[in-house]
A and B are shown apart, each in its own frame.
Chain A
Amino acid sequence: MTMLPAHSTPKKLGLVIDLDVCVGCHACVVSCKEWNTGGYGSALSDQDPYGADVSGAWLNRVHTFEVVPEGGEIVGEAGDARIVHFPKSCLHCEDAPCVTVCPTGASYKRSADGIVLVDEDKCIGCGLCAWACPYGAREMDLAAGVMKKCTLCIDRIYNETFEEVDRVPSCVRTCPANARHFGDLADPQSDVSIMVAQRGGMDLMPEQGTRPVNKYLPPRPRKSLADSARGLPLAENTDGAKGFFAWLDGMLDRI
């Protein structure tokens, strides 16, 4: 069924990604591929895996951006350019355009928890949903000829044979910096909702009208490099030297 749920889903499961914390290690990218190549649906194939033109289907990728404030090209002038690592996977949009364009009913949004999934047995691999997603969150598996996307690790989060701590998406469990959080964004009392409220969590490309469930926490304002440098002792400055160094300083001055 490619009609979206008629009402807002009671649960909105999704991720909150902290851009202040992500160190760009790509651990979540690898653990996602590892988990999902053996989990839901067909394996995530790679093409030319050992060749020069390796490519493949991945459900989570980390981009890295440079953000330069006005006048920031000159170090210490008006804030500095900074690097922001930017993990991106399906945002499980409330108004998911990828779902409504699907001709077969393979793409759907679950009415219970809002997770957007592809039923691979119905998918004809037309690729229209990947065109409709403005975020590039869907990639065709060229071996199986079906569309792949983040399932929010549907086979982990409800898996009661797992310990509680493991019932989160693989990327969240793996992140060594704790930059990724999983929870119900429909519940204002959930940890993720509180985090979003406190840190000003934001939507990506709100102008596309997709109403993403996943939120991104902006990087915290940073002290400029020049401000930090002011506090450092400079090599020429010997004020405050004590004991042997004070004596040596005095002797050397006299020579």
Chain B
Amino acid sequence: MHPAPSIILFTTLSGLGYGLAAVLGLGLLDPAAIATKFAHVLALALIGGGLLSSTLHLGNPQRAWRALSQWRSSWLSREGVMAIITFLPLVFSAWMAVFESRYLLLPGLLGTVLCLVTVYCTGMIYASLKSVQTWHTPLTPLCYLLFAVAGGFVLAGFFAFCGSGRTVLVPVLAIIFLIAAWAAKALWRDHMKRLVPLSTPESATGLGNIGHVRLFERPHVTENYLTSEMGFKVARKHAAKLWFVALIAGGVIPAGLFLSLLLTGAENGPFTAFIATLAVVTHMLGMLTERWLFFAEARHAVMNYYGG
């Protein structure tokens, strides 16, 4: 599948935003700290920015509101509806934190639950497509959820280190969820590698009982919408390298940095903030790589008609 930058950016940014908002909803950060107020604003900005970038790839974005209508059958529609509903408690909680320096348990927890439901819908958009076998597994939404939560704790950890007072719980949870998320993703990749193709050129043409089917001539010489949208292929050796990069940048480095901050018991200050920033930045780079691979490595059933 073609790794469209707008979709990669959307899923990464909004995943981080929802993760951060979900963590903020738990009330683990001091609502009076300036850093926490920033965190609330950042979460809303990431979510909003993600949603906006997702409309960039639409052919007719002016009608995007129509996408809220088919929630009974479409996971994309459900995601849109949930995104809007989720905004209500998030904005309320942000308001309370920014202007009143308060944390309220009920709206907070409600926001956390709704954030997770929204991310689950995002994962299900992909998992529901039988035509892309790699994605068609419950592990897909699980990875989306765990990555969102891990990213949320990484960001929250950054704000905790920037705030005042000792912080242990949030960075510890960040490390735990980073491990859980990348373990789930490793399972997902393992699942992908062991897949026996559901559809083949033989089943796609129905000619399998005559013999082995191979493409002789494409319908057209140049690329078309189908081949450019679904015919993307990434060389195996590059995929293996990129997976390594994603894992190190997205998981090992941020977890290692947080761990060293915890173990050395460094005082909150500019240096700690710098290390925490590094953790956030590498995590984001790792996530972008992971999302790129998520698309680039997925094979669509239609390629059985195009010899790929």
Contact = CB atoms under 8 A, between A and B. Distances in A.
| A and B form one complex | yes
A145 B76 contact: no
Interface stretch (B42-50, B90-98, B124-132, B154-162): B124-132
Contacts of B201: 65
Interface string B19-41: 00000000000000000000000
Nearest to B215: A65
Given A86-B205, A130-B229, A65 B213 contact: yes
Contacts of A124: 58-61, 63-64, 66-67
B110 interface: no
Contacts of A106: 66
A232 to B, nearest CB: 25
B31 to A, nearest CB: 36
A103 B74 contact: yes
Contacts of B204: 135, 204-205
Nearest to A98: B131
A67 B69 CA distance: 46
Given A61-B220, A104-B67, A134 B301 contact: yes
Contacts of A172: none
B222 to A, nearest CB: 6
A241 interface: no
Interface stretch (A5-13, A77-85, A178-186, A244-252): A77-85
B58 A105 contact: no
A64 B302 contact: no
Interface residues of B, number: 60
A181 to B, nearest CB: 17
Interface string A90-109: 00000001011111111000
Contacts of B73: 2-3, 99-101
Contact of B205 (A62, A65, A103): A65
Contact of A88 (B211, B228, B305): B305
B193 interface: no
Interface in B189-214: 198-199, 201, 203-207, 209-214
A134 B73 CA distance: 18
A132 B60 contact: no
Contacts of A97: 129-131
A194 to B, nearest CB: 19
Interface string A1-34: 1110000000000000001000000100100000
A122 B63 contact: yes
A55 interface: yes
Contacts of A105: 66, 69-70
A2 B229 contact: no
Contacts of B260: none
Nearest to A70: B211
B198 to A, nearest CB: 6
Nearest to B131: A134
A102 to B, nearest CB: 6
Contacts of A204: 203-206
Interface of B: 1, 57-61, 63-64, 66-70, 72-77, 80, 125, 128-132, 198-199, 201, 203-207, 209-220, 222-226, 228-230, 300-302, 304-306
25 contacts: A2-B70, A2-B74, A26-B219, A53-B222, A58-B220, A63-B217, A63-B306, A65-B201, A67-B211, A67-B212, A68-B211, A68-B214, A97-B131, A99-B73, A103-B70, A103-B76, A105-B66, A105-B70, A122-B63, A127-B57, A130-B229, A131-B300, A133-B302, A145-B60, A205-B204
